[in-house]
Amino acid sequence: MHVFVTGATGWVGSAVVDDLIEAGHTVTGLARDPEKAAALAWKGAHVVRATLEDDDALRSAAAAADAVIHTAFNHDFSRFLESAAHDQHVIATLGSALAGSRRPLLVTSGLLGLPRGATEADIPNPASLRKSEVAARALAERGIHAATVRLAPSVHGIGDYGFVPLLIRMAREKGVSAYIDDGANAWAGVHRLDAARVYRLALEQGVTEQAYHAVADESVPFREIAKVIGRRLGLPVEPRPAEHFGWFAHFAGTNMSASAEQTRRLLGWKPKGPDLIADIDQPGYFTA
């Protein structure tokens, strides 16, 4: 299978590329930075040197592929609404290149806006700010073979630059590893390499569902994450009001847990990586 991957040099996308190539698939990856493009080519992938703003390049690469995986997203939270709107546009652009075919498009989203312990059948709150899944479902309603991979809020592994490293930086700056209220709100977790396999397995099995869950640890209390950070940094672990977290309070105090029972059963997906707490409880997470 020839797969076009956006975000091919990113945290999740690069693992998806590696997994696809190792399984014998042909990959074309989108890359803007020349050094990252060279690294992508060294892996054996074809490279499209362009940005997400280049609609023609996106349509051309998608049209030439048997399937498309969209992992790219601008995580500059100071421009989140703008990024979310542009992401909708990119998904619509990719979908337009696949219209009239059964070639699948897998879009990436998260668990925010879903109920605690959500299953793959649950639908995100339409008020949720990120619209990736909304865009994929809109394509599906038009007969385009689009579906969503929902990632756990912590896609962990050494080299992670997501939510847990952000919490580590915040703890260092404020002198406390904090949680809101009793810290019982729960996050899901998945190792980066396990998440990558969900995309490939879904493609290989024909993308039969509207949503898949890349979730290994289904429910990890936020307080337990804070405890690891506090112990590793030698800082107190204490409750703090939401204001302590600034813009991140919505994430720090929210339940983002989910079941992946259906994804495991349908895809035969068996996570192999370490669990969230074990993975972040190692020196490599605290060297930056």
Q: Which residue has the higher pLDDT, 242 or 125?
A: 242
Measured CA to CA, the distance from residue 99 to residue 197 in angstroms comes to 26
CA distances from 111 to 117, 142, 265, 276, 280 (A): 10, 24, 20, 16, 20
Mean pLDDT across the stretch 144-149? 97
Same domain for 206 and 236, yes or no, is no
Same domain for 85 and 163, yes or no, is no
Measured CA to CA, the distance from residue 201 to residue 209 in angstroms comes to 12
CATH code of 131's domain: 3.40.50.720
Count of domains forming the chain: 2
Q: Please say if the pLDDT value at position 125 is more than 90.
A: no
Determine which of 100-109, 118-127, 151-160, 197-206 has the lowest per-residue pLDDT on average.
118-127
Confidence of residue 288 (pLDDT cuts 50, 70, 90): low
Write out the residue range of the structural domain in which residue 237 sits. 158-188+218-256+273-286
Output the six-digit token pair for 233.
């940094």
Confidence of residue 59 (pLDDT cuts 50, 70, 90): very high
Tell me if 268 is assigned to some domain: no
Q: What is the mean pLDDT of the chain?
A: 95
Closest CA relative to residue 192, chosen from 29, 39, 14: 14
Same domain for 29 and 70, yes or no, is yes
Mean pLDDT across the stretch 127-148? 92
Q: Tell me, what's the pLDDT at 81? A: 80
Same domain for 178 and 41, yes or no, is no
Same domain for 247 and 105, yes or no, is no
Same domain for 94 and 169, yes or no, is no
Same domain for 100 and 178, yes or no, is no
Tell me if 14 is assigned to some domain: yes
Tell me if 66 is assigned to some domain: yes
Same domain for 222 and 204, yes or no, is no
Tell me if 266 is assigned to some domain: no
Closest CA relative to residue 107, chosen from 128, 135, 74, 77: 135
> What percentage of the chain has pLDDT greater than the value 70?
99
Same domain for 95 and 7, yes or no, is yes
Same domain for 50 and 107, yes or no, is yes
Tell me if 261 is assigned to some domain: no
Round to the nearest angstrom and report the end-to-end CA distance of the chain. 38
The torsion of the CA quartet 60, 65, 68, 71, rounded to 10 degrees, works out to -70
Tell me if 97 is assigned to some domain: yes
DSSP β-ladder status, 67-70 and 2-6: parallel
Same domain for 162 and 233, yes or no, is yes
Tell me if 55 is assigned to some domain: yes
Measured CA to CA, the distance from residue 270 to residue 194 in angstroms comes to 8
Same domain for 95 and 163, yes or no, is no
Q: Tell me, what's the pLDDT at 259? A: 97
Tell me if 267 is assigned to some domain: no
Total number of residues shown for the chain: 288
Q: Please say if the pLDDT value at position 151 is more than 80.
A: yes
Confidence of residue 67 (pLDDT cuts 50, 70, 90): very high
